[in-house]
Structure formats: C-alpha cells, structure tokens
Structure 1
Amino acid sequence: MKHVMIAGATGYLGQFLCAEYQRRGWHVSALVRSAKTDASLPADAIVTAEATEPETLKGVMQGVDLVVSALGITRQTDGLSYWDVDFQANLNLLQEALASGVQHFAYVHVLNADRMADVPLVAAKSAFVHALQASTLGSTIIAPSGYFSDMEDFLKMARNGRVWLFGDGQLQINPIHGADLASAIYDAVDRKETWLDVGGPDILTHRDLAKLSFDTLGAQNRVTFLPDIFRRIALRVLLRITPRHVAGPAQFFLTAFGMHMAGRPVGTHHLAEYFQDLNSRHAE
C-alpha cells in the first residue's frame, strides 16, 4: 500500500485530501501541530510535529512515498509570518522529504501567482515553489482559482442589502469545492503533471456572483459598481493603517479580484448549491 503524508491536514483542504487519498486506497498520515485537533480527521495515522521547527520533523517521513502540502496561513493569528509558514515550514518539509527518500512532493499554490509577486502571501509561496522545482524531488504544483468559502462575502453583502463590485463586474472566476480540488490533486499527481491551474465547473463573472447571491436569498438584485481605482486606493491604504494580520489577506483578495481567476474547470460541486446550503443553515 502506498503511503502519503498530508501537511496542513487540519485545514479546509487538508481534510478533503486525507479523505480522498484514503478513499483511493492509500495509507494516510496526517501531519498536525497538536494531537488535540486530530479527532475527526480521516487518516490512518496522526503525526504530531511543528513544521516551522525542523527538528520535530526528523524521521516522520520514513516509508512515505508522497507528501502533499496544503500548509499555509491566510489569517495571521499566532505571530508567524507568511515567510515563516508558507515558505520556511514547507522548505523544512521538503528537506525532510529529501532526507527520507520520498518520491514525490505536491504543493498547493495560487493561480496567477506570477501576477501577484508584490503580495507577501503569494511571494512566500512562490519562493517555496522555486525551491521545490530546483530540488531533485519529483513535484506537482497545483494552483487553484479560489475556494467556495472565499465567495461567502458575496452572500454576506447580499444579505446586508447590496453587493459592491469594482470595475464593470466582468472579471471571471471559477471557485472550487474542497472535495473537487482534492480529487483534481490526486489525479494530477497520479499523472505526474508538473503544474495544474484548476478551478470549479462553473466560470462566473463578479456580476454573476452578485446575482447568484441575491437569487439564493430570493431578494432584489442591488449592485453598486465602483471605479477600479477605489480598489487600488484600498490596497495602498490598507497596508498603512491596518495590522498585518488584517492587511495580509485583504491585500491578497483585493489583488486577486482585480484579474481573471479561472483555471481548468473540473468537478461536480456547484456554487449555487453551496450558497443554498449556507443560506439554509443561516436560517436555522
């Protein structure tokens, strides 16, 4: 039986990755920071280590054929930076994988990273990608367009009565459900693809997202279009007046929402169904 280690296993995507590899017949080891967080993970083994501290990783990858890392931070709440986690922690994993004879390393990156080099979150991820590709280990880079959960802000705005969009609202995105992304990652690694830009089955404009949000609520479509210069101004202001843990993710999302973010369409989960489920739970 082949053996995979999932890094970032307790995150949104990590849990789907554990389930997908287990469903496909692999022995799954979930790398977690604390044993207290492992209760619901679909894994055959729980490995407790702190990836930012390389000494805790010694020997944990013995017998592992593949490492899949979804390790990264989008909310800086514990004092660690993107460079501490998205770059250095993943580099520590890579070095241990090389020392342990792991055959392949898959890493979850960001779509259009080359166009977001000035965003710290993306810069740290890209630096690790360069290190991975320069290593002797076989690798697969997966660059998703965005998650369904990232689109929840549209539904929240609609619930408050109005959706605010930058520009003409015609930029496109095809966000992807975690289960679909986990399946796409499995298939890409199995095919030994070196890079996969990927998204969900439905390519939507920002206007479409606004309409979908109001349709989900059964409410009138109320959208205000702001000149894109307001997005660019917000990017500058946020970096000056907000703390790092707020400015970091906001800079990423504001930058990403200024460009097309559509990857190869895959999967069976649709955002409309996800929104309906969210709305039903909100009404309970």
Structure 2
Amino acid sequence: MKTVFIAGATGYLGRYLCEEYQRRGWYVAALVRDAPRAKSLCADQLIEAEATEPATLVGTMSGADLVISALGITRQADGLGYWDVDYQANLNLLREAEAAGVGRFAYVHVLHAGTMGHVPLVAAKSAFVEALQQSTLPSTVIAPSGYFSDMGDILAMAEAGRVWLFGDGSCLINPIHGADLAHASAEAIAQERPWIDVGGPEVFSLKQVASLAFASREAPTKITLLPDGLRRAALWLLPRVTPRKIHGPAQFFLTAMAQDMVGERHGTHRLSDHFNNTPPQ
C-alpha cells in the first residue's frame, strides 16, 4: 500500500484530498495542528506537528511515497503572515520530504500567479514554487481557478439583496468543487504531470455567477456595476487602512476577479447545485 502525506489536511481542499486518496486505497497520513479536533478527517494517521517549526517535522514523512501540500493561509492568524506559511512552512515540508526520500511533492498554487506577483499571498506561493522546481524531487504544481467556496461572497451579497461587481462583470471563471479538484489533482499526480491549470466543468462570467446566486434564493437579480477605478483605488487604500487579515485576502480576490480565471475543465459538480444546497446565512 502506498502512503501519502497531506499537509493542510483540515482545510477546504485538504479534506477532499484525504477522502480521494483513501478511496484510491492509499494509506493517508494527515498533518494537523490539533489531532483531537481533526478526528473527522478520512485519514489513517493524524500527525500532530507545526509546519512552521521544522524540528517538529523530523521523521514524519518516513516511508511516504507522496507529499501533497495544500497548506496556506487566506486570513493571517497567530501573528503569522504569508511568507511564514505559504513560503517558509512549505519550504520546511519540502526539505523534510527531500531528507525522507519521498517520491514526489505536489503543491496547490494559484492560477495565473504570474500576473499577480504584486499580491503578497501570491508572491509567497510563487517563491515556494520556484524553490520546488529547483529541488531534485519530482513535483506537480496544481493551479486551480477558484473554489466553489470562494463564490460564497457573491452568494452572501445576493442574500443581502444586491451584488456589487467591478467593471462590466464579463470576466470569466470556472470555479471547481473540492471533490472534483481532489480527483483532478490525483490524476495529474498519477500521470506525473509537472503542472496543471485546473477548473470546474462550467465557465461563467461574474454576472452569470451573480445571477445563479439570486436564482438559488428565488430573489430578483440586482447587480450594480462599479467603475474599475474604484477597484484599483481599493487595492491602493486597503493596505494603508486595514489590518493584514483583511487587506491580504482582499488584495488577492480584487486582483483575481479582474481577469479571466479559467483552467482545464474537470469534474461533474455544478455551481447552481452548490448554491442551492448552501443554507442561507
């Protein structure tokens, strides 16, 4: 039986990765910070360690055939920032994987990261990818277009009665369900692909996403289009007037939503079903 070591196992994608690899018959070792709180994971072994503290990782990957890291933060906590987690913690994982002789290291990145190098979250992830590609370990980089869960902000606005979008709302995206992304990732890893840009089966404009959100709540569609200059102004202002836990994620989403985010189409889950099955907030 092959063994996979999954970091970021308690996150949105990490949970689906654990399920996917258990379904495939792998022995799943999940890296967690608090084992008692992670008992619901589909994992054969819970490894309690801190990826930000390399000494706690020593020996944890012994016998692993594959390491997958979905480790990262969207909202800073514990005084840690993107360079502490998205870069350095992943680098700690990579160095331990090298020492353990792991067969392959897979990392969950961001689609079109090259156009978002000025965004701190993306810059930290990209710096790690550079280190990963310089490693002697074979690797797979998974770059998703966006998760179904990311569309929750649009659904929340629809529930409040109006969706606010920048520009003309025509930018395209094919967000992907976590189960579909886990399956596509496992397939790409099995095929030893070095990189995959991946999205869901359906491509929407942001206006269409908003319309789906209103339809799921059986509410009239009310969309207000704001000048893109306001988005650019917000990108300049937010780091100056808000804490990192607010402006960090906002910088990423405001930048990503101003361009097409479409990856290879994978999966079967539909965004409309996701909205319909999401309880009102």
Residue type at the aligned position of 1:141: V
Aligned to 1:205: 205
2:119 is matched with: 119
Paired residue for 2:20?
20
Taking the aligned partners of 2:62 and 2:144, their CA distance within structure 1 comes to: 29
Counterpart-to-counterpart distance in 1, 2:268 and 2:91 = 33
Deviation of the 1:273 alpha carbon = 0.2
Distance (Å, rounded) in 2 between the aligned partners of 1:128 and 1:77: 20
Secondary structure of 1:47's aligned partner: strand
What's 2:248 paired with?
248
Deviations 1:93-134 (A, max 9, x none): 000000001010000000010000000100000000000000
What residue number does 2:173 align with? 173
Which SS does the other structure have where 1:92 is aligned? Answer: helix
- Cα drift, residue 77 of structure 1: 2.1
Please name the residue that 2:280 is paired with: 282
Q: Structure 1: which 4+ aligned runs deviate by more than 2 Å?
A: none
Report the 3-state secondary structure (helix = DSSP H, G, I; strand = E; otherwise coil) of the residue aligned with 2:40: coil
Residue 92 (structure 1) aligns with: 92
Structure 2 distance, partners of 1:210, 1:13, is 23
In the alignment, what sits opposite 1:149? 149
Q: What is aligned with 1:268?
A: 268
Aligned residue number for residue 69 of structure 2: 69
State the identity as a percent.
Answer: 62
- Whether the 8 Å CA contact 1:7–1:71 is kept in 2: the answer is yes
Report the Cα distance in structure 1 between the residues aligned to 2:220 and 2:280, rounded to whole angstroms: 19
Is the CA contact (8 Å cut-off) linking 1:10 and 1:37 kept in structure 2?
A: no
In structure 2, the residue matched to 1:29 is 29
| TM-score normalised by length of structure 2 | 0.99
Is the CA contact (8 Å cut-off) linking 1:165 and 1:225 kept in structure 2? yes
Deviation at 1:215, TM superposition (A): 1.1
Residue pairs, 1:99-138, within 5 angstroms:
99-138=99-138
Counterpart residue number, 2:54: 54
Preserved CA contact (<8 Å) 2:159 2:280 = no
Displacement of 1:282 in angstroms is: 2.4
Could you say which residue in structure 1 is the equivalent of 2:186? Answer: 186
Unaligned runs of 5+ in 2: none
Deviation of residue 58 (structure 1)? 0.6
Task: State the partner residue of 1:216.
Answer: 216
**Hey, what does 1:140 align to over in structure 2?**
140
CA distance in 2, matches of 1:145, 1:204: 12
What's the secondary structure of 1:282's corresponding residue? coil
In 1, Cα distance between the equivalents of 2:104 and 2:46?
Answer: 20
1:148 CA drift (Å): 0.6
Partner SS for 2:117: coil
1 CA distance for matches of 2:220 and 2:18? 41
Matched position secondary structure for 1:6: strand
Please state whether the residue corresponding to 1:179 is helix, strand or coil: helix
For the aligned residue pairs, the C-alpha RMSD in angstroms reads 0.8
Aligned counterpart, 2:8: 8
Aligned length: 281
TM-score when normalising by structure 1: 0.98
1:259-280 deviation digits (Å, cap 9, x = unpaired): 10011110011110000001xx
In structure 2, distance between residues paired with 1:213 and 1:60: 43
